[in-house]
Amino acid sequence: MTPSATPSSRSLTTIFIGLAQWPLCLAVLSGSGLDLTQPGIPWDPIGVGLSGTSILLWLLARQGRHPLALRLLGAALLAVASMVIFREQPVEVSALFLMVVAVAVAVAAFRSGHSRTSLLLTNATFVLAVFVFVESLSGLWVSLAPQRATETWDGSVTTADDVRSARVLPDATAQHRASLADGTLLFDVTYRTGPDGTRRVPDRPDTGRTWHIFGGSYTFGNGLEDDQTIANQIQRRLPDTRVFNHGCAGYGTSEAYQTLCDVLADRSDPAVFIYLFLDDHFRRTAVPRVMLDERWLWDKPRFVLDEAGLQHLGKVSDNLAWTDRLHDRLSERSWVYRRLLRARSSRWVPGPADQDLVASIIVEMKQRSDLVPGCRFVVVRLPMYPSDFDESALQRWHDVLRNHGVEVLDFSPILKNCIRRDKLSLDSCFYPTDGHAKPRYVEYLMEWLAPYMQRWRSETSKSSPDPSG
């Protein structure tokens, strides 16, 4: 015969439910942006006061005055009090605390004639606490696992920016070194920037028509010396032009657009604008919710496409809902949640809305460059390591650009043919650590791009005389 629940057992159940809620409350309030570590606020006395109030409510409930409402309110206050008192404890301590409380309450409930349902609830929560503890240890094990490669930096060439995700510092120098776990050196390069806040192009002359290259780290040249970058290799093949490297690590389509607008604001002479597009720019521009656990994406510009057209809403961090912050908090605290999230994000493919957004920004780039007579705007799609999106998945993006007269060149099939022709592996063109391009990748690109560049130079030369005189 199952013993019936007594008032004391019901109180024990309510107390335990209240204690078990505080990690969830902590996640929710952290997601909402409330800072429980803010100095100047007496958090500990507040926690003690809330605990005392919850006990008073339970004592009133035992007198028979609105027992259910008072117990629920007491449980809620105890949850908040526990959250405040244990606000700085890591998840492992939280899980251990729940396990100890679960055992103590289970024993007390059994001795006081606790109902089977309440015991089941207590044991289920205990199992959950064990799961939280084990998964947190799993995350620790992963963090202690040997790293495939190590990277070191001496100096910096970028800084935070109020409009873009970052910007290149003027007249800066940084050394970047990467090695495999066995000590094999991958690269040891030095990045230098000019007074205009762009990466140096050593072979650039003082006069000539200007070419401007936009993009992310492939454009900037991560892992390459100044003279090995795509911009400088273009400069070498067009010695009578002046090539500027506007690339910056992490940039996507939105930052390329903002940078192009800045360049156009300071000029009215013919120029060639080349946007080196990577498929990862879909993610960096659309910033889907499934990838918001990657905090660096919070600094990206947020553009939306609505009935009024293309709109700039500030940064991604300015447009986060409390659910997005909760999602980030859970991914930060839970290794299992984070792994499940990465499994979803790895399968992410830009949908129609994402493709329309990115294509619309690129179309806006072309339309703005067309306002200056003699300017030419071109998109070159660069392959990434280890793979890109399937071509059929991006058909909508291609259609929008083609319908608006945007010239798009795709280097992806060309590179595959070059690797196959020379019987090489992907590692001959990409660094195996982070997938950035090696010098051979740039060589293949220049070999294929050379006739196009000659045509663009010829077309801009016919449009008007050389502005440099």
Task: Give 321-337 pLDDT, tens digit per residue.
Answer: 877 877 777 676 666 66
- Mean pLDDT calculated for residue range 388-405: 86
- Residue 271 clears pLDDT 60, i.e. is over it: yes
> What is the rounded average pLDDT for all residues in the chain?
80
Q: What percent of the chain has pLDDT over 70?
A: 67
Q: What percent of the chain has pLDDT over 90?
A: 45
pLDDT of residue 326: 73
Which stretch of 57-71, 188-202, 203-217 has the lowest confidence by average pLDDT? 57-71
Residue 147 token pair: 């790293």
Residue bearing the bigger pLDDT, 149 or 96: 149
Contacts of 187 (CB under 8 A, 6+ apart): 176, 177, 178, 223, 224, 431
- Give one word for 427, left, alpha or beta, with left for phi > 0 and alpha for psi -120 to 50: alpha
Residue bearing the bigger pLDDT, 108 or 372: 372
pLDDT of residue 144: 47
- Give one word for 250, left, alpha or beta, with left for phi > 0 and alpha for psi -120 to 50: left
Distance separating alpha carbons of residues 41 and 453, to the nearest angstrom: 63
Residue bearing the bigger pLDDT, 45 or 165: 165
pLDDT of residue 453: 95
Quote the crossing angle between the two packed helices 67-85 and 43-62, to the nearest 10°. 160
- Residue 194 clears pLDDT 90, i.e. is over it: yes
pLDDT of residue 229: 97
Task: Give 343-391 pLDDT, tens digit per residue.
Answer: 677 778 899 999 999 999 999 999 999 999 889 999 999 998 766 677 7
Task: Give 33-45 pLDDT, tens digit per residue.
Answer: 555 566 667 777 8
Contacts of 156 (CB under 8 A, 6+ apart): 169, 172, 174
pLDDT of residue 150: 84
Residue with tokens 């001795």: 111
pLDDT of residue 48: 76
Q: With contact defined as beta carbons under 8 Å apart, do 199 and 247 qualify?
A: yes
pLDDT of residue 2: 42
The domains of the chain are located at 7-144, 149-288+348-462
Handedness of CA 7, 8, 13, 14 (dihedral sign): positive
Distance separating alpha carbons of residues 57 and 72, to the nearest angstrom: 9
Residue with tokens 């595959």: 416
Q: With contact defined as beta carbons under 8 Å apart, do 167 and 193 qualify?
A: no
- Residue 311 clears pLDDT 90, i.e. is over it: yes
- Residue 458 clears pLDDT 90, i.e. is over it: no
Query: Model confidence at 293, in pLDDT bands (50, 70, 90)?
Result: confident
Residue bearing the bigger pLDDT, 306 or 131: 306
- Residue 248 clears pLDDT 80, i.e. is over it: yes
Distance separating alpha carbons of residues 468 and 337, to the nearest angstrom: 58
- Residue 315 clears pLDDT 70, i.e. is over it: yes
- Mean pLDDT calculated for residue range 219-248: 96
Residue 326 token pair: 């909760």
pTM given for the model = 0.74
Query: Model confidence at 142, in pLDDT bands (50, 70, 90)?
Result: very low
pLDDT of residue 83: 63
Residue bearing the bigger pLDDT, 24 or 404: 404
The domain 149-288+348-462 is placed in CATH, from the list 3.40.50.1110, 3.30.2310.20, 1.10.490.20, 3.20.20.150, at 3.40.50.1110
- Mean pLDDT calculated for residue range 263-279: 91
pLDDT of residue 374: 87
- Mean pLDDT calculated for residue range 93-99: 57
Distance separating alpha carbons of residues 177 and 244, to the nearest angstrom: 25
Query: Model confidence at 205, in pLDDT bands (50, 70, 90)?
Result: very high
The residues with which 208 forms a beta bridge, in sequence order, are none
Query: Model confidence at 148, in pLDDT bands (50, 70, 90)?
Result: low
- Mean pLDDT calculated for residue range 84-111: 59
